[in-house]
């Protein structure tokens, strides 16, 4: 049993203990007030004391309050049209949208998926036909056509598209699975369907699309 003085009005650890002047003789034995029987006994009293009036009722009422719903995870994506198909490319893979420029064919390479090379802001990048990749008929030149410049793992790609609708915010929970009856070639490169106003838009699977392009052009 400790020889520390019994408690009076003020805690002994704040007067002669480690939080006081340190004159308590028991400190030489226990090293710190938390190792003293008096300190531990007062701690037990604190934990075992009866709650004040209304305490339990107050906490019961707080715990019964319904928690607000957690915020839904969202992401941004560029919505654009290739032929008759509307697609969404996540903004993380989007670099910029620019007017259509000149496409220069690569010698000895048929202009199928790889249309050629194009320059954007002085940088030359592969220009890819999403029409060929997604099985869409390439439309003629349109005033709505634009270049979509995408970037993935340090490599930039240019996609001529027929129309750009803009960047929209989507909820991850709102991504619908692809219908099992859908057999369109382009569904291979999409991971689900999102709704943009009145449109049903195929969400592009970035990793699958860009890895497929690297294999084709490698």
Kindly report the number of other CB atoms within 10 A of residue 109's CB atom: 12
Question: Is residue 108 domain-shared with residue 152, that is, in the same domain?
Answer: yes
Tell me if 4 is assigned to some domain.
no
Together in a domain, 88 and 32:
no
In a domain, 109, yes or no: yes
Answer yes or no: do 109 and 20 share one domain.
no
Tell me: do 186 and 84 sit in the same domain: yes
pLDDT of residue 69: 61
Same-domain status, 45 and 122? no
28 and 79 in one domain?
no
Give the chain's domain count: 2
Asked if residue 128 has pLDDT above 90, the reply is yes
Q: Is residue 148 part of a domain?
A: yes
User: Quick check: is 2 in a domain?
Assistant: no
Query: Cα separation of 136 and 147, whole Å?
Result: 17
- What does the alpha-carbon distance between residue 214 and residue 128 come to, in Å, rounded to a whole number? 11
Beta bridge partners of 202: 87, 193
- Tell me the pLDDT tens digit for each residue of 79-116: 999 988 899 999 999 999 999 999 999 887 766 789 99
Q: Which of 118, 151, 126, 130 is nearest to 86 (CA)?
A: 130
Residues 56, 79 within the same domain: no
User: Residue 86 is part of which domain span?
Assistant: 74-217
Say if residue 99 is in the same domain as residue 194: yes
pLDDT of residue 1: 43
Higher pLDDT, 151 or 62: 151
Would the pLDDT of 155 be above 60? yes
Question: Is there a single domain that holds both residue 87 and residue 58?
Answer: no
Q: What is the pTM of this model?
A: 0.64
For residues 57 and 39, state if they share a domain. yes
- Per residue in 127-143, is it b (16+ CB within 10 Å) or e — as a string? bbbbbbbbebeebeeee
Number of CB atoms found within 10 A of residue 78's CB: 22
With cut-offs at 50, 70 and 90, classify the pLDDT of residue 165: very high
Q: What phi and psi values does residue 185 have, to the nearest 5 degrees?
A: -55, -40
Residues 49 and 105 in one domain: no
Structure tokens at 63: 């715990």
- pLDDT category, 139, cuts 50, 70, 90? low
CA contacts within 13 A on the Cβ side of 185: 11
Indicate which CATH number applies to the domain containing 121: 2.40.50.180
């Amino acid at each position: 049993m400790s020889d520390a003085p019994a408690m009076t009005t003020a805690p002994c650890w704040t007067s002669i203990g480690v939080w006081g002047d340190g004159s308590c003789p028991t400190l030489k034995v226990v090293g710190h007030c938390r190792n003293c029987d008096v300190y531990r006994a007062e701690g037990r009293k604190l934990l075992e004391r009866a709650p004040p009036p209304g305490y339990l009722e107050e906490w019961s009422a707080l715990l019964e309050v319904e928690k607000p719903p957690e915020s839904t995870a969202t992401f941004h994506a560029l919505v654009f049209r290739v032929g008759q198909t509307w697609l969404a490319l996540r903004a993380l893979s989007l670099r910029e949208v620019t007017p259509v420029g000149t496409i220069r064919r690569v010698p000895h390479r048929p202009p199928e998926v790889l249309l050629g090379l194009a320059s954007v802001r002085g940088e030359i990048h592969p220009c890819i036909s999403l029409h060929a990749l997604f099985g869409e008929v390439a439309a003629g030149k349109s005033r709505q056509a634009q270049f979509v410049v995408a970037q993935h793992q340090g490599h930039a790609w240019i996609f001529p598209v027929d129309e750009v609708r803009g960047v929209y915010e989507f909820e991850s929970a709102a991504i619908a699975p692809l219908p099992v009856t859908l057999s369109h070639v382009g569904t291979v490169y999409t991971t689900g369907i999102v709704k943009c106003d009145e449109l049903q838009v195929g969400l592009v699977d970035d990793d699958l699309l860009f890895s497929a392009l690297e294999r084709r052009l490698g």
